[in-house]
Amino acid sequence: MTTKTTSNAKKKTPVKKTASKIKMTTKEKALTRQIEKLDEMIDHLELELSDQQERVQAAEEKMLRVVAEYENGKKRVEREKERSLKFAKERVLMGLFPIIDNLERSAKYESDEPAEDDTPKGVHLVLDQIKKYLKDTDDVEAYDPINEPFDPEYHEAMAMQPSEDVESGVVIDVFEKGYKSGERVLRAAKVVVSQ
């Protein structure tokens, strides 16, 4: 019976827990609380840092957009300025062409008339000076397309006239010379074309 009693006794004794709580001192408890608070502060600061990094990134992107818009605006203003100057320059040139035409007619008329003074010579000098100035400043030249095939980019047909001497589609007379700067036409020549 002794064996039974001992085995029953063994069953009745409570089993000790394997994971028992570690007893901490007051100092250790205070340090643990401080560590927990510091962990919370670290989490909070990490969130704040992440938020600030997002704000900095957004500000950088906005700054880059503003700089790009400024550069584009600056380029646009430059193009507009160049276009305006070009337009103003062409208006001045277009205003000079009729004056040159009239001076040429005057010079031609005066050279046909016998003159006692140097007037025709003076008109020719003024014309030459104007033409030289236009050539030197903007490479503007007059062109006289007589006997050239009609080209609508360079010529403006004012009339068509039958001609036995020339084939059809050739410039046979010029009312007003054309003017161009390089290859760009400033004023098309006003011409009579053969039929």
CATH class of domain segment(s) 141-195: mainly beta
* 37-64 pLDDT per residue, tens: 999 999 999 999 999 999 999 999 999 9
Determine the pLDDT at residue 118: 53
What is the residue extent of each domain of the chain?
141-195
* 149-195 pLDDT per residue, tens: 999 999 999 999 998 888 989 999 999 999 998 888 989 999 999 98
pLDDT band for position 127 (cuts 50, 70, 90): confident
Residues 6+ positions from 103 with CB-CB distance below 8 Å? 123, 126, 127, 130
pTM here? 0.54
Residues 6+ positions from 153 with CB-CB distance below 8 Å? 185, 188
Determine the pLDDT at residue 19: 52
* 89-121 pLDDT per residue, tens: 888 888 888 888 888 888 877 766 655 655 557
CA-CA-CA-CA torsion sign (170, 172, 176, 182): positive
